[in-house]
Structure 1
Amino acid sequence: MRRRAHSYRDDPSVPLFPDDRPVIVFDGECIFCSGWVRFMLRHDRQARYRYLTAQSPLGQALYRHYGLDDENYESNILIEKGVARFKSDGSIRTLAGLGLPWSLINVCRILPAGLRDPIYDLVARNRYRIAGRRQTCMVPTAEERDRFIA
């Protein structure tokens, strides 16, 4: 769902949150998704991104705000400069934000989302089958805690 930049600021159901840096909202119970965040934490040496679990009250409010299922998180959300990106577009932009060599992924943007997103959807629908599910959300280490929005 396309909305104007920072539209969540005008939605009373979305709590205020720091959005001065890009925010990645992810399924904290999904081992595959948590692995993605661990990868990002390891390679995001500039600490460019903040992270938020979809299961948190803020995460659920953002999923509802963008018209996504707030119980079955089949797309991560990248919020950058107030604009939300979903599915393959969000993932490509997230990786590209890490700089070289990861920014080479931008070449995939020449493919229309109509070709990229079905692959994303296939993985998203089967993510628990592929990697499993945690009983609780991913817990950041003490060193990582300041990169997460509670």
Structure 2
Amino acid sequence: MSVNIPEGTKLILFDGVCNLCNSAINFIISHDKKKIFRYASLQSSIGQQFLKDRNLDATALDSILLIEPNVAYHHKSTAALEIAKHLNGLYPALSIFLILPKTFRDWIYDIVAKNRYKWFGKKDNCQIPTPELKSLFMDQ
């Protein structure tokens, strides 16, 4: 079984128990006026299948993933900046940081990722989307 993403959309996989990650997803939803993105937690069956298909270790993954159909997936800082390109307002301007070396961008990303539970907290379970947002989440 492979992960099928609806045509014209991109899938964001995120840590469903991380408060920072959930806040980021809520932010993206509110700034994604074209409804380009769909969402699934890394802990979901879709998230687990994606990781399995690519031989990625779920326990070692502390990154948001952006999956574009028929394109390679992005993770860490590249995923965040690629997502910003599609948000309304001035957020697409953040993509200028793609000119910085990936190793530098990911070094900063890794500091936040390593400390995200300590700084922002963690839930026992993945957040359940409200009924009006449920259609944006691929695995319920």
Relative to the length of structure 1, the TM-score reads: 0.85
Alignment-derived partner of residue 77 in structure 2: 88
Q: CA deviation at 1:53?
A: 0.6
Alignment-derived partner of residue 102 in structure 1: 91
Alignment-derived partner of residue 34 in structure 1: 22
Q: Answer whether contact 2:20 2:116 (CA < 8 A) is retained.
A: yes
Alignment-derived partner of residue 65 in structure 1: 53
In the alignment, which of 131, 141, 145 is matched to residue 130 of structure 2?
A: 141
| Cα gap change, 1:104 to 1:91, in 2 (>3 Å) | same
Question: What are structure 2's unaligned runs of at least 5 residues?
Answer: none
Deviation string 1:22-46 (CA, Å, 9 cap, x unpaired) is 0000000000000000001111111
Alignment-derived partner of residue 77 in structure 1: 65
| Cα gap change, 1:105 to 1:98, in 2 (>3 Å) | same
The alignment yields a C-alpha RMSD, in angstroms, of 1.5
Q: Answer whether contact 2:33 2:88 (CA < 8 A) is retained.
A: no
Alignment-derived partner of residue 17 in structure 1: 4
Q: CA deviation at 1:67?
A: 3.8
Figure out how many residues of one structure are paired with residues of the other and give that number.
Answer: 137
Q: CA deviation at 1:99?
A: 4.1
Q: Match of 1:105, as an amino acid?
A: L
Q: Distance in 1 between matches of 2:129 and 2:23?
A: 12
Q: Match of 1:74, as an amino acid?
A: D
Identical-residue share of aligned pairs (%): 31
Q: Match of 1:86, as an amino acid?
A: H
| Cα gap change, 1:99 to 1:37, in 2 (>3 Å) | same
Q: Match of 1:32, as an amino acid?
A: L
Deviation string 1:75-115 (CA, Å, 9 cap, x unpaired) is 11101133200110000000111144110001101101011
Question: What are structure 1's unaligned runs of at least 5 residues?
Answer: 1-11
